[in-house]
Every structure is written in structure tokens, then in C-alpha cells.
Amino acid sequence: MAGPPTQETPGEALRGTRRSSRRLPRRAAVGRRSFASTLKSLDELASFGARISVRVNDLDRGTSVLSGDDFVTLPVAGLGVVPLLIEVAAGFEAGTLDPLEIVERTSVEPVAVGGVWQHLKAPALPLCDLAVLTAATGDAIAANTLISRVGLEAVRSRIEQLGLSRAALLDVFRDQRGPDDAPHFALGSARELAEVFAALVNSQTVSPGVSAQVAEWLSLNHDLTLVASATGLDPFSHENDEHGLLFINKTGRDAGIRVEAGVIAGPRAGLSYALIVCFDDLSISHRLRVHDAFRTLGVDLMEYVF
């Protein structure tokens, strides 16, 4: 196994004192840094007809350690809010958006597909709080309000500026999609999603300030039930883990769609990852089989970074 890079990389600098001088013995490290279990689990899903896109990158070396159809564009459900959050953070930094601008909940059509604002008494919230709700709880009304404020075209332009050729924000969140609506909320590929998260933690998305703001929002995400279930983190408070685990993620869920992308870094390594699975959600067992594959990836990621 190759030794660590001689120069500190951006991902290494981000972790700073989180990195430890302790290293596993050569043979033990090789044995634990395998994604064989993930590949087996994903192969089983593919045999049942699932469409899969997966990518894992080593942040320190800048190389891929796992890939499979990572260039394929697939629906990514709520994970599509990440470019929206980048556009909002860029607007805050540029001064074209006021973080404390108050927006009425009634300014957009009500949707009940997810989130907490629909259950709150507050009829209006500032844009900065809507960004938090979008990142932390996947709040559909908050996301739609942000889309209404900045415009779909601005988000699409931002996606182009980021160099994401296989990503698109197609529509707002809807309870029902009719024949005149876009078939999905958003599209993406595992390769580009993993690269977006790597760029965020390496302060390379728009500017260091924008990168830090979006990463901070995403660090509040409550959904740790898929890949993140292997981390043992508290879903409601995991920004400063006592064991030195750096973790940010975003998930996406829809009928027959499960997606997660993020960054995980421990004392031995740091990784950016993305997994998209589109499947026939015919029963609970079909769904749980997919969830198990995400958790298997999480275990392999943890063994790689610790």
C-alpha cells in the first residue's frame, strides 16, 4: 500500500488535528480497505433489476477507489437541492440575496412530501432559515420557496458554471406529478455528486466562503439512515464528533429512488462518495434490500477511514 502524500492536500488541511499519527500495520490496513462487500451487495441489487451508479474518491490522493456506472444520469430526488443551496450561498456572499429577507410560506403552493415547516405555526421565515430547513430536514416547502426566490434558471446556470454536465434541477417538489410536469425533481450522476462534495470540503465551490456555508448547512442533515447509519453519529448533533469523524451528507428519496452523497473523513483517510439506486419498490423487502446495500457501503467507508 502506498504511503501518505508528501505534501498536505486540501482535504488533509481541512481535517487538521483530526488526523492521527497512528497507522495500522501494512497487512491489516490492506485487508480493511476493501469494498468487496459493497460490490457484492450492489451486484445482488443489479441482478434484481436495479439501476445503480456509485463513486468513491480518496480526498488525499485525488483518485477513485470505487466506481460503477458512475457516469450514468439518474434521478436523485431531494439530493438535487445541493446546487440550489450553492446558488443561495453565492447570493448571500455577493449581496444579491439578503439572508434575513422574510418570505411568506403562502408564496408557494403547499406540498406535504417532506419537511417540518408545514407543521410550524410561523407563517414566514428568513431565507437563511429556509436554507437550514432544506439542508437539515429536506423541507419541500422551504426548498420550493428558495427556488421561487432565486429562480430555476439561476440554479441551472450555476450547475453549468460548476461544470456539472450530467446534473439538472428540473422542477419544484410536488405531491403529484402530472403529464405536464417534469418527471423528476432533479437528475445527477454519482461521479459528479462525489466531486461536488469533495469540492465543498476542499473550499473549491465558487469560493471558500460559499463552500464553508454550504458544508455547514449540510452538516446539520438529520437523515443518517442510509450510508451514514454505519457512523454511529447522533442524527441531531454530529458537527463535532468526539472520535474525530468529519461527516457531511445529503440524501434523496422518492418512489423507487434512494440516493446519498457526502464526505467522510477519519484519522487514516478522507473520502467523498455517492450512491444512486433506482429500483422496483414492490414490497418492504425490496426496499430494505436497497437500504442494506447503502449500509454496507457505510461500513466499508468507515473501515477505510479508521
Is the residue at 222 inside a domain?
yes
Q: 251: helix, coil or strand?
A: strand
pLDDT of residue 24: 36
pLDDT of residue 15: 39
Percent of the chain at pLDDT > 90 equals 86
Look up the CATH number of the domain holding residue 255. 3.40.710.10
Cα-trace Rg, the chain? 19
- Of 22-31, 168-177, 178-187, 216-225, minimum mean pLDDT range: 22-31
pLDDT class of 32 with cuts at 50, 70, 90: low
pLDDT digits (tens, 9 = 90+) for 118-158: 999 999 999 999 999 999 999 999 999 999 999 999 999 99
Is the residue at 186 inside a domain?
yes
pLDDT of residue 4: 36
Mean pLDDT of 57-70: 95
Question: Exposed (0-12), middle (13-18) or buried (19+): which is 246, by Cβ within 10 Å?
Answer: buried
Is the residue at 4 inside a domain?
no
Residue 23 has pLDDT above 50, yes or no: no
pLDDT of residue 239: 83
Sheet holding 74-75, edge to edge: 74-75, 186-188, 168-169
Is the residue at 184 inside a domain?
yes
Q: 167: helix, coil or strand?
A: coil
pLDDT class of 241 with cuts at 50, 70, 90: confident
pLDDT of residue 240: 80
Domain count, the chain: 1
CA–CA distance from 213 to each of 18, 59, 67, 200, 252 (Å)? 20, 20, 29, 9, 20
Confidence (pTM) = 0.89
pLDDT of residue 55: 98
252 - beta bridge partners? Answer: 259
Is the residue at 1 inside a domain?
no
Is the residue at 296 inside a domain?
yes
Secondary element (H or E) of residue 58: strand 51-58
Residue in the structure block whose three cell numbers are 456572499: 93
Is the residue at 5 inside a domain?
no
Cα 299-302-306 angle, rounded to 5 deg: 145
Residue 59 has pLDDT above 80, yes or no: yes
Distance of CA 152 to the CA centre of its chain: 20
pLDDT of residue 19: 39
Is the residue at 154 inside a domain?
yes
Mean pLDDT of 103-123: 95
pLDDT of residue 64: 96
pLDDT class of 17 with cuts at 50, 70, 90: very low
Query: Residue 289: which domain range?
Result: 10-305
Candidates 170, 153, 149; CA nearest to 161 is 153
